[in-house]
Amino acid sequence: MSSSDRVIIFDTTLRDGEQSPGASMTGEEKLRIAKALERLKVDVIEAGFAIASPGDFAAVKAIADHIKDSTVCSLSRALDADIERAAEALAGANSGRIHTFIATSPIHMQHKLRMQPDQVIEQAVKAVRKARSLCGDVEFSCEDAGRSEIDFLCRIIEAAIDAGARTINIPDTVGYAIPHQFGETIAALLQRIPNADKAVFSVHCHNDLGLAVANSLAAVVAGARQVECTINGLGERAGNASLEEIVMAIKTRQDLLQLHTNIDTPHILAASRLVSGITGFPVQPNKAIVGANAFAHESGIHQDGVLKHRETYEIMRAQDVGWHTNKLSLGKLSGRNAFRSRLEELGILLGAEELNAAFARFKDLADKKHEIFDEDLQALVTDTLAEEAPEHFKLLGMEVSSRTGVAPQARLSLSIDGQTLETSAEGSGPVDATFKAIERVVDSGATLLLYSVNAITQGTDSQGEVTVRLERGGRIVNGNGADTDILVASAKAYVNALNLMQVSAKANPQVDGV
């Protein structure tokens, strides 16, 4: 593809993104984000508005001094003082750009600037010339272009290009445009302005009607070749067009648009998380590309489709934007195929009847619980198997001594396949001593993953219910035991887990070869 098919990505997270109420960043945080943007291969980083404050000046300067692979830009009004401050901050940049702007809509010129249209053109030309005298790369923006008159836009843009602007930005400052109309405006400007070919046309869309990305894409289709956008769509009021959505739309619909960007898309998620962490603006779960649910499938019919052929319900690969993988979330809307597939990933292979029984339990549980985790599945299957668990190991009796300053000791009497055995051990606590005593004769090779105690009735004479989760060779079982003596409940739970491990091993020998 030729360079005319490339869309320049101009990121303004550090300038317009910071205009999100509550999203202000320190200089050090801005530099960290700038480095993430450079890694993402963003073409232009708008680092701030140098004249806004000493802190913003320092941030633009630090970014200009450190970033080598992206162009670093500072915003400035169409005023000499702003432009000089921007140039000063950008002095150390490998590649710097001054971005100067003035409003062009009747409402802004009359009520905000209190200037006549001809005065605005004059000031724009003066500003662009001034900027060009200090920097080879100058961008000019017609603020509120979305509500400006097209004849006036043509006049001011032609004059700005003649004065030396090499990028002309058409902002929809208040998010007023509608895609087809905005695309027609861009096409008309490109066609009517005689020197349009001397500049790259850019757009900068706000999201007040939720149309920032759609308007940006319509502009690109009409011939714009720079898009101004922000990570996570941050920005003044409802935000700006989101970088990740623009980039992935261009990449995913390359078949239709025949365009590309330079963005290294697998770094997108990391950049999104960094910006969210620094600004404290969480990413909504259903946000395209970077939301937690962007590659998660909840319903059985979709999960079945994705398992059979991923592209039935996915237009992008999760890995292409930085996710480790896509996700099939198990819940009440899941079907048997997704359930079986997840069990198989956990190394649990069930026959048809066992699968049906476990699936029925799963649906019951899913009615009560939003998301079912792997541990829930392990426990469900264990429950299914528990109904048929013969007692290889049985607790016959036990005695535990515990005295201050002396290591606790447990003595147990166990039956193993009908044979009675005595065992004892010391431990760091009475429960530890109990489990060590059992292992001294059983030697299961299992690892204890979880030990939890719950009171199932009230008061000091309550029944304690203990859960012991053991793992061996990828197989996980949950053993349960109840007693008014918590140590007896613990020993029963451990012995129960060992029995379940035996049943589970017989049902699925391929997991650990037992």
Ligand X SMILES: CC(C)C(=O)C(=O)O
Ligand Y SMILES: CC(=O)SCCNC(=O)CCNC(=O)[C@H](O)C(C)(C)COP(=O)(O)OP(=O)(O)OC[C@H]1O[C@@H](n2cnc3c(N)ncnc32)[C@H](O)[C@@H]1OP(=O)(O)O
Task: Check if the beta carbon of residue 240 is closer than 8 Å to that of residue 207.
Answer: yes
153: Cβ contacts below 8 Å, ≥ 6 apart? 104, 142, 145, 170, 189
Which of 10, 11, 16, 359 is in the footprint of ligand X by CB under 6 A? Answer: 16
Q: Could you tell me the two tokens for 432?
A: 């530890």
Choice from 167, 173, 279, 434 touching ligand X (CB under 6 A): 173
* Neighbouring residues of 496: CB distance < 8 A, sequence distance ≥ 6: 389, 468, 479, 480, 481
Distances (CA, A) of 202 to 84, 214, 244, 333, 389: 24, 15, 17, 45, 70
Chain positions 169 to 198 lying near ligand Y, rule: CB under 6 A, are 173
Strand partners, 141: 101, 169
For ligand X (CB under 6 A), the number of binding residues is: 9
Of 59 and 102, nearer to ligand Y (C-beta) is: 102
Token pair belonging to 257: 């648009």
Determine whether the annotation assigns residue 208 to a binding site. no
Q: For residue 209, which amino acid is it? A: L
Residue with Cβ nearer ligand Y (145 or 350): 145
Q: Using CB under 6 A, which of 10, 57, 101, 494 touches ligand X? A: 101
Nearest partner of 50 among 68, 70, 30, judged by Cα = 30
- Interaction of residue 101 with ligand Y, rule CB under 6 A: yes
Among 46, 158, 236, 354, binds ligand Y (CB under 6 A): 236
Residue of 384, 302, 387 lying closest to 348 (CA atoms): 384
Answer whether 327's CB lies under 8 Å from 285's CB. Answer: no
Distance in Å, CB of 449 to ligand X, minimum: 53
In a 13 Å sphere around the CA of 351, the CA atoms on its Cβ side amount to 8
Question: Of 143, 172, 304, 465, which one interacts with ligand Y (CB under 6 A)?
Answer: 143
By CB under 6 A, name the one of 52, 142, 165, 398 that touches ligand Y: 52
CB of 47 to ligand Y, least distance (A): 13
Comparing CB distances to ligand X, the nearer of 242 and 384 is 242
Pick one of ligand Y, ligand X, none as the site partner of residue 43 (Cβ within 5 to 8 A by kind).
none
In the list ligand X, ligand Y, none, the entry touching 204 (Cβ below 5 to 8 angstroms by class) is ligand X
Question: With binding defined as CB under 6 A, does residue 49 bind ligand Y?
Answer: yes
**In whole angstroms, what is the distance from residue 182 CA to residue 163 CA?**
26
Under rule CB under 6 A, residue 112 binds ligand Y:
yes
Whether residue 195 is annotated as binding a ligand: the answer is: no
Q: Which is it for strands 464-472 and 447-455: parallel, antiparallel or unpaired?
A: antiparallel
Binding status of residue 113 toward ligand Y by CB under 6 A: yes
Stretch that binds ligand X, among 60-68, 166-174, 414-422, 492-500 (CB under 6 A): 166-174
Closer to ligand Y by CB, 15 or 225: give it. 15
The span from the first CA to the last CA of the chain, in angstroms, equals 58
Dist. CA 225–CA 397, nearest whole Å: 80
Nearer to ligand Y, 127 or 507 (CB): 127
Which of the stretches 47-55, 207-215, 241-249, 387-395 binds ligand Y when contact is defined by CB under 6 A? Answer: 47-55
129 vs 279: CA distance, rounded Å: 36
432 is in an annotated binding site: no
Stretch that binds ligand X, among 168-176, 246-254, 320-328, 407-415 (CB under 6 A): 168-176
Longest Cα–Cα distance in the chain = 104
Q: Does 79 bind ligand Y (CB under 6 A)?
A: yes
| Residue placing its CB nearer to ligand Y in the complex, 111 or 369 | 111
Write the CA distances from 346 to 30, 388, 503, integer angstroms.
42, 21, 17
204 is in an annotated binding site: yes
Nearer to ligand X, 206 or 287 (CB): 206
* One residue of 18, 56, 143, 354 binding ligand X per CB under 6 A: 143
Structure tokens belonging to residue 292: 């937690």
Tokens representing residue 275 in the block? 């910006």
**Is 493 in a helix, a strand, or coil?**
helix
Collapse the DSSP code of 175 into the 3-class scheme (helix H, G, I; strand E, B; otherwise coil) and give the result. coil
Residue 294 DSSP class: T
Q: Based on CB atoms, which residue is closest to ligand Y, 83 or 269? A: 83
**Of the residues 61, 77, 297, 475, which one makes contact with ligand Y according to CB under 6 A:** 77
Q: Does 342 bind ligand X (CB under 6 A)?
A: no
Q: Is 38 in the site for ligand Y (CB under 6 A)?
A: no
- Judge contact between 280 and 311, C-beta under 8 A: no
Give the count of beta carbons closer than 10 Å to the beta carbon of residue 311.
10
Tell me the C-alpha distance between 481 and 504, whole Å. Answer: 18
With binding defined as CB under 6 A, does residue 105 bind ligand X? Answer: no
CB nearer to ligand Y: give 107 or 453.
107
| 102 touching ligand Y, by CB under 6 A | yes
> Binding residues for ligand X, per CB under 6 A?
16, 101, 141, 143, 169, 171, 173, 204, 206
> Binding residues for ligand Y, per CB under 6 A?
16, 19, 49, 51-52, 77-79, 101-102, 112-113, 143, 173, 236
Instruction: Pick out the residues of the known binding site for Mn(2+).
Output: 16, 204, 206, 240
Instruction: Pick out the residues of the known binding site.
Output: 16, 204, 206, 240
